[in-house]
Structure 1
Amino acid sequence: MRYAALILPLLLLGSSVRAAVAPEIDPRASLGVVQQWIYGYRAKPDYAHVPAAVRVLFHSQTFKEPESAGIYLGFIAGAIGSNPAKAEQLVNSFFPVPPQDEWVIVRAIAYSGLPDWRNLLRQIEPNIPERRIMIESYLDGTLPTLAEIPLEDSRPGMLDKLRNAFTRNPFKKEEKKLDTKLTFASSQDLLDTLWGYYFATGSHVPIMRIVQMLPWSKSRDTLDKLTVGSMARYTLASYAVRDSSLREFLRDELPRQSEAVKGPLTEVIQAADRVELGAVRRDALAAVEELKAKGSDARRNLDLWGQVGVGAIALGCVSAAALGQVAVGIPCVIGGATSQGLLSFWEKQQ
């Protein structure tokens, strides 16, 4: 690896060393170096070295499993959005992009929050013609930007249910369609993406979005919501332990929040102040066990949920886990796997 004039102190293989993340970084550089660099980026932004870090992510096949790469996608999106004047230059520096990873650039631009993100997408389309359909889907609004993704699906009211009951043909066999609608309640990797955006920008906008998910940690409606809400609470507490500015922000926000948010947010702040993450984890595991035993509020059959692993409720190495043990002290990789179901993840921590 060639050393540039600017040297970044990074953690490598568990020991502190002086490592250079140069624009022409050796593509064989450790992913762990970039992970630690990302975690510390908001405290000391190093915009010039973002292209080098992104090339390491591509070379390491970080985006091979999209559902476990949300934190890196969020970081790239945040880096693009953090400097609108240089956004086009930054995006151009990513090319050439491995064909299998071209979707990352498209989605990062759409998620960046840039005022002119649509024009930037149009400009890169000639470079990645095979992603034309994806680009057009963002441009025409078929695919939502990060800010447009709702927390959860709106539930039909009583009148809507009655209208559907009277207008639906009971003898018509309805074709079951794949539900591709994105919501934070049903897509756990979006929590990762918000954390990645925060690491790149230090913005509190993604933090407030995560705070809005906290009432789900008390939810007994669906396992998806309980999963996302519990991980939102756990990761907020975990990062706040190490980030005093985040702790102060959460403490300042507490009086302004709704009653539904105040309870779990108070737990987050107390766990961070006292460094009692184990209590948060145990409470979440107990909630899952209760949901399994008693069923949801909608009385859905949960008998098989305890057997679900990677898949419907896969965490995709949610946020803290994506950075690994060395970076943030949270066990993530269990038995060599890069993602685990919520039950498996927590049970193995006991």
Structure 2
Amino acid sequence: MRYAALVAALLMLVQSAHAEKTPDIDPRASLGVVQQWIYNYRAKPDYAHVPAAVRVLFHSQTFKEPENAGIYLGFVAGAIGSNPAKAEQLIAGLFPVPPEDEWVIVRAIAYSGLPDWRNILRRVAPRMPARRVMIDSYLAGKLPTLTDIPLEEVKPGMLDKLKGAFTKNPFAKDDKKLNTTLTFASNQDLLDTLWGYYFATGSHVPIQRILQMLPWSKSRDTVDKLTVGSMARYTLASYAIRDAGLREYLRSELATQPAAVKVPLGEVVEAADTVQIAALRKDALAAVDELKTKGSDSRRNLDLWGQVGVGAVALGCVSAAALGQVAIGIPCVIGGSASQGLLSFWEKQQ
């Protein structure tokens, strides 16, 4: 009798141990499996398996083109920031990291939103000596964190222009410098990064940032702002269709947002409630046609459209939270190179 009781107790311990350990994610698993896991993560966080999922992303060379990997970067950053007590344990679990992908760890820590992110970055720096310049730039504040990136560049006022006119040497040769200023208006992949952060945390902080871009969907000033604003409006509606919590949150924001946000946000809510987002795409197309025909509000020369060219359109095709597949974004539709919807990733989750 005593022997039978001992065997039963051992069996219970073994079963308990197996119940606590969920199966690992195979690093050779399909990228599509990890994409669906990421999309559903905020509803059922599985913190223990984040390193394994990220290793699949590394194995799939998802970060090969940084401007196309925003949503994955945002997810890693959000996962790190979502559990401060275990952040360093999670980061340690990501190693070894392919040398060409070490930038992901550096940026994810800086974008995590952790109060102590600088010290964490200092402690992990010895494991990535090849990224010393990038690490030092973040620590010195030369590179901004996700929350510090401005929506757009501040235009110089009249006094600044006059000062420049009087101090500039009229005989000096103008040297055009590469503009490396990081803004949401000029970097479409940052919209993806915000969505990735949302998928990892369910936080409304990145959603608030996306809401601030909505007025650009009505912009007739620059192609960048019109494109990003249109993508912000479209992605909000597309994800809200499947995410009841997000849909309710957006509806609650209608009462508090300024008029410039309220109008396009109302379009988002209506499109999500009625599951009719085609109108948002058509409106973006019409806006671009008008911009081409009449020019911009700031007297933009139409010759610029020829300079924008196919290259700029192609860069935009990989954005707008098109998780997992290249192309199929609002800019592709604008360029006439695609007729499908924006969110190839979202469509996979149906």
Which residue of 2 is the match for residue 218 of structure 1?
218
Cα drift, residue 340 of structure 1: 6.4
Which residue of 2 is the match for residue 71 of structure 1?
71
Distance 1:26 1:100, change over 3 A: same
Instruction: String of CA shifts for 1:67-107, please: whole Å, max 9, x gaps.
Output: 11000000000000000000000000000000000000000
Q: Which stretches of structure 1, 4 residues or more, deviate above 4 A after TM superposition?
A: 4-8, 338-342
Cα drift, residue 310 of structure 1: 4.0
Which residue of 2 is the match for residue 280 of structure 1?
280
| 2: CA distance, partners of 1:341 / 1:280 | 15
Helix, strand or coil at the partner of 2:141: coil
Please say which of residues 192-201 and 292-301 is displaced more in the overlay.
292-301
Instruction: String of CA shifts for 1:270-312, please: whole Å, max 9, x gaps.
Output: 0000111100001011111111111111122234637733437
Which residue of 2 is the match for residue 52 of structure 1?
52
Which residue of 1 is the match for residue 111 of structure 2?
111
Which residue of 1 is the match for residue 335 of structure 2?
344
| 2: CA distance, partners of 1:265 / 1:205 | 16
Q: Give the TM-score, by structure 1 length.
A: 0.87
Q: Give the TM-score, by structure 2 length.
A: 0.87
CA contact (8 A) 2:76 2:108 kept: yes
Distance 1:267 1:341, change over 3 A: same
Instruction: String of CA shifts for 1:214-250, please: whole Å, max 9, x gaps.
Output: 0000000000000000000000000001111101101
Amino acid at match of 2:204: H
Cα drift, residue 349 of structure 1: 3.5
Which residue of 2 is the match for residue 311 of structure 1?
312
Amino acid at match of 1:220: R
Alignment of structure 1 residues 39-188 onto 2, 5 Å: 39-188=39-188
Distance 1:287 1:194, change over 3 A: same
Cα drift, residue 345 of structure 1: 6.2
Gapped regions of structure 1 (runs ≥ 5) = 9-19, 325-331
Distance 1:193 1:85, change over 3 A: same
Helix, strand or coil at the partner of 1:320: coil
Helix, strand or coil at the partner of 2:300: coil
Instruction: String of CA shifts for 1:291-349, please: whole Å, max 9, x gaps.
Output: 1111111122234637733437722533431155xxxxxxx646xxx996452367534
CA contact (8 A) 1:333 1:339 kept: no
Query: How many pairs does the alignment contain?
Result: 324
Amino acid at match of 2:335: S
Distance 1:7 1:343, change over 3 A: farther
Helix, strand or coil at the partner of 2:310: coil
Cα drift, residue 154 of structure 1: 0.7
CA contact (8 A) 2:284 2:334 kept: no
RMSD, aligned α-carbons: 2.3
CA contact (8 A) 1:75 1:197 kept: yes
Distance 1:310 1:341, change over 3 A: farther
| 1: CA distance, partners of 2:163 / 2:195 | 41
Instruction: String of CA shifts for 1:253-285, please: whole Å, max 9, x gaps.
Output: 111111111110000000000111100001011
CA contact (8 A) 2:31 2:324 kept: no
Distance 1:231 1:266, change over 3 A: same
Cα drift, residue 166 of structure 1: 1.6
| 1: CA distance, partners of 2:124 / 2:270 | 46
Which residue of 2 is the match for residue 299 of structure 1?
299
1:246 aligns with 2:237: no
Instruction: String of CA shifts for 1:154-201, please: whole Å, max 9, x gaps.
Output: 111111111111221111112111110100000000000000000000
Between Structure 1 and Structure 2, whose CA radius of gyration is higher?
2
